[in-house]
């Protein structure tokens, strides 16, 4: 079945089909993508225009060895972390110690969820961006002029006692798999946050116990969102994207990828494909960390390509301060030579902004800039 050309009488029905997600469209056997998913030519992945220009080369991100952050070579690794956050906004984290079975179970239940009948998946559909559990499609299906080739399941984590009963009960092992994975990624996030604060000169690791209350309390009690992304095989991948160019809103995102390439970042004015590295996590700076660091560390535009023959699954663990906290440049990073560069913000402002308009590139972060 092709949905590429429809009569006026079918338009309302087709619009309803789009809202059901890409997986649903693929299950109906489409051989061409509907016009709703076709990007304007300058925004298509192979366009040579402006910031859409793509490179044929793959990019090997800086590698941060988590084990060395906990060893005698910590200072050297912290320096490498500083350089990665400044020059790339991304790095690969190796030797992270998340047990293999925890990762495998997380990937398996993710695949199984998207293989459930649509009637089961649709129980969790919501357009409310504040919902603690949300199954949806595209980026912001309420506002996107062109839909992207993605379905997602978003699960808010803390406090688990409140949200766990709301999580999908099928597949049977999903809740426990997500609990195990979220706890492991939360630990990594906190350890990376300590190192990042050290790299910014905000804490002294030799006196971390004394300084924890001052600098790390809000980080420790912060928000965590698990986002499971499904990018089905696409019959015309040159016309669309799995995710459009965007930056992440939080402090850090820890991304688990499968072996199918798809993630691209903008580096030195070109789109380059991130080479998947076995047994690693991709970590990137978010908008909130750019604000907190007063611009020293940059959140970087990234996007997702889709594949003509293979589906792709990724699991993103997004971390930031508590929902009601104010994100602002650290006072210790502001002086006469480095004035405050961003206005204070919070999650509510971010959600209101994204609910009211189509997100484009780093538009929310741009709205926070003072200079």
pLDDT, tens digit, for every residue of 67-94? 999 888 899 999 999 999 999 999 999 9
Answer whether residue 355 shows pLDDT above 70. no
pLDDT of residue 255: 98
257: number of Cβ within 10 Å: 21
The conformation of residue 276, written as its DSSP 8-state character, comes to: P
Answer whether residue 136 shows pLDDT above 90. yes
Query: What band does 110 get if pLDDT is binned at 50, 70 and 90?
Result: very high
CA-closest candidate to residue 369, choices 337, 338, 344, 346:
344
Is residue 16 in some structural domain? no
pLDDT of residue 73: 86
Is residue 19 in some structural domain? no
Q: Is the peptide bond before 159 cis (omega within 30 degrees of 0)?
A: yes
Question: Is the model more confident about 12 or about 27?
Answer: 27
Query: What is the average per-residue pLDDT within 135-150?
Result: 89
Pairing outcome for strands 90-94 and 63-65: parallel
Indicate which CATH number applies to the domain containing 108: 2.60.120.330
Domain count, the chain: 1
Is residue 322 in some structural domain? yes
Contact 270, 51 (CB under 8 A): no
Spacing of C-alpha 298 from chain mean position: 15
Is residue 361 in some structural domain? yes
Is residue 11 in some structural domain? no
Question: Is the model more confident about 348 or about 330?
Answer: 330
Candidate ranges 50-54, 282-286, 355-359; pick with highest mean pLDDT: 282-286
Is residue 12 in some structural domain? no
pLDDT of residue 8: 44
Query: What band does 18 get if pLDDT is binned at 50, 70 and 90?
Result: confident
d(CA 88, CA 84): 5
Is residue 30 in some structural domain? no
pLDDT of residue 133: 96
Q: Tens digit of pLDDT for each residue in 242-271?
A: 999 999 989 999 999 988 889 999 998 899
Query: What is the average per-residue pLDDT within 33-48?
Result: 90
Q: Tens digit of pLDDT for each residue in 156-213?
A: 998 888 999 999 999 999 999 999 999 999 999 999 999 999 999 998 766 655 555 5
pLDDT of residue 69: 92
pLDDT of residue 364: 82
d(CA 212, CA 286): 22
Mean pLDDT of the chain: 88
pLDDT of residue 5: 45
Is residue 33 in some structural domain? no
Q: Tens digit of pLDDT for each residue in 301-314?
A: 999 999 999 999 99
Answer whether residue 49 shows pLDDT above 60. no
Contact 246, 259 (CB under 8 A): no
By residue range, what is the domain housing residue 168?
40-368
């Amino acid at each position: 079945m092709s949905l590429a050309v429809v009569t006026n009488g079918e338009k309302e029905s087709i619009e309803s089909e789009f809202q059901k997600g890409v997986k649903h469209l693929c299950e109906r056997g489409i051989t061409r993508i509907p016009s709703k998913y076709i990007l304007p030519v300058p925004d298509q992945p192979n366009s040579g225009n402006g910031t859409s220009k793509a490179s044929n080369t793959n990019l090997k991100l800086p590698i941060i060895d988590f084990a060395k952050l906990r060893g005698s070579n910590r200072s050297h690794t912290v320096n490498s972390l500083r350089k990665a956050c400044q020059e790339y906004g991304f790095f690969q984290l190796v030797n992270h110690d998340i047990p293999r079975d925890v990762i495998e179970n997380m990937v398996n239940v993710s695949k199984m969820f998207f293989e459930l009948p649509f009637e089961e998946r649709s129980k969790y559909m919501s357009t409310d961006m504040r919902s603690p559990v949300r199954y949806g499609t595209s980026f912001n299906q309420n506002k996107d002029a062109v839909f992207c080739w993605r379905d997602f399941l978003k699960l808010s984590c803390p406090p688990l006692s409140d949200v766990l009963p709301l999580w999908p009960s099928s597949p049977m092992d999903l809740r426990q798999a997500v609990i195990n994975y979220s706890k492991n990624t939360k630990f990594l996030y906190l350890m990376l946050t300590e190192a990042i604060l050290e790299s910014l000169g905000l804490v002294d690791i030799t006196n971390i116990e004394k300084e924890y209350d001052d600098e790390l309390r809000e980080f420790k009690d912060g928000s965590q969102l698990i986002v499971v992304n499904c990018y089905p095989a696409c019959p015309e991948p040159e016309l669309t994207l799995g995710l459009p160019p965007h930056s992440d809103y939080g402090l850090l995102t820890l991304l688990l990828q499968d072996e199918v390439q798809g993630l691209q970042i903008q580096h030195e004015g070109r789109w380059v494909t991130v080479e998947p590295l076995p047994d690693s996590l991709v970590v990137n700076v978010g908008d909130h960390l750019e604000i907190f660091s007063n611009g020293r560390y940059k959140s970087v535009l990234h996007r997702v390509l889709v594949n003509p023959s293979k589906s792709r699954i990724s699991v993103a663990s997004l971390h930031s301060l508590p929902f009601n906290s104010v994100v602002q440049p650290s006072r210790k990073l502001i002086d006469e030579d480095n004035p405050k560069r961003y206005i204070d913000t919070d999650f509510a402002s971010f959600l209101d902004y994204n609910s009211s308009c189509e997100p484009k590139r780093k538009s929310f972060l741009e709205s926070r800039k003072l200079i």
